[in-house]
Amino acid sequence: MQDARFERVLLRRPDLRTPFPRRFAARLRGQSVVRVDRRGKYLLVELSSGDTLVMHLGMSGAFHVEAGPAAGRAAADRHDHVVFEMSPSATITFNDPRRFGFMDLVARKALAGHAALSKLGPEPLSPEFGGAALARACTGKKTSLKVALLDQRVVAGIGNIYASEALHRAGLSPRRRASTIATRAGAPLASAVRLAGAITAVLIDAIDRGGSYATARGPRFRVYEREGERCLTKRCRGTIKRITQMGRSTFFCPVCQK
């Protein structure tokens, strides 16, 4: 996508999770892509105009890339909400059945203070993340450890699947209080170091596999969607359970996760 230019932008509805910015299509038209980056779950596309296109897939969003312009093609899927015609000769379509996705245009100088980005925690694959950072963020938290991991202020970009998987690798119960991985002063306990390492390992594995949803029912997942099956931890005789936390399904082993 880098160095490509927005030739035409088609909006097939006025909003996704929130309304599109004023003159969204017009402000994109003719702009070139300078750089593509990511912050947490947000995709950041730096433009030649000085604006940044900020996008989030939501729960069901996906981009489909095809060669050639959109004109003359068969009728679009009713969930194809945004179409970017790019030069040279490519079309990127954003499809989002649930419409939880998000798009905004933000001036580069205002990006750090943007509401969606300003409170994000450290990137889990960055040098800034580790047991110490995780312990500091969880110090004094009365919420459960699983819910804390889904808080983007604690660590950016951890979703429901990865939180369950990381907690299982670390041998920590999702119902455990978040503050128990740190001392009262905020120093990391061994559990914090173990959990930070598990988060990093789970994400690296997911990247190597090409993402989580493509293999959500495959054998590489240790707990996710494996309710009623044997725990894969060596020498553990536990059975995977599913509970609901903050409206989300959590999968864990009640025997080896303490």
Same domain, 189 and 235: yes
The pLDDT, as a whole number, for residue 211 is 66
Residue 133 DSSP symbol: H
- Answer whether residue 119 is part of any domain: no
| Same-domain pairing of 143 and 246 | yes
Kindly state whether residue 121 falls inside one of the protein's structural domains.
no
Q: Is residue 122 part of a domain?
A: no
47 and 95, same domain (yes or no)? yes
The tokens describing 136, both together, are: 């500091």
Is 191 a domain residue?
yes
Tell me if residue 82 falls in helix, strand or coil.
Answer: strand
Same domain flag for 146 and 246? yes
Would the pTM of this model clear 0.95, i.e. be above it?
no
Q: Say yes or no: 248 and 135 in one domain.
A: yes
Q: What is the CATH number of the domain that holds 155?
A: 1.10.8.50
Whether residue 88 sits in one domain with residue 32:
yes
86 lies in the same domain as 153: no
Q: Which of 102, 127, 128 is nearest to 116 (CA)?
A: 102
pLDDT attached to residue 67: 86
The stretches of the chain forming alpha helices (DSSP H) are: 24-28, 131-138, 145-150, 160-170, 190-209
Q: What is the residue range of 229's domain?
A: 131-252
Output the pLDDT for position 130.
Answer: 98
Under 8 Å between Cβ of 86 and 53:
no
Of 188, 122, 186, the residue nearest 155 (C-alpha): 122
Per DSSP, what are the bridge partners of residue 37? 44
Same domain, 172 and 230: yes
Q: Please check whether residue 258 lies inside any domain of the structure.
A: no
Whichever domain contains 74, its CATH number is 3.20.190.10
102 and 149, same domain (yes or no): no
Domain boundary among 61, 81, 110: 110
* pLDDT for residue 92: 94
Query: What pLDDT was estimated at residue 238?
Result: 98
**Residue-level pLDDT at 209:** 80
The number of folded domains in the chain is: 2
Per-residue pLDDT of the chain in tens (258 residues, 90 and over written 9): 777 999 999 999 999 999 999 999 999 999 999 999 999 999 999 999 999 999 999 989 999 998 877 655 555 789 999 999 999 889 999 999 999 999 999 999 999 899 989 999 999 999 999 999 999 999 999 999 999 999 999 999 999 999 999 999 999 999 999 999 999 999 999 999 999 999 999 999 988 887 665 444 444 689 999 999 999 999 999 999 999 999 999 999 999 999
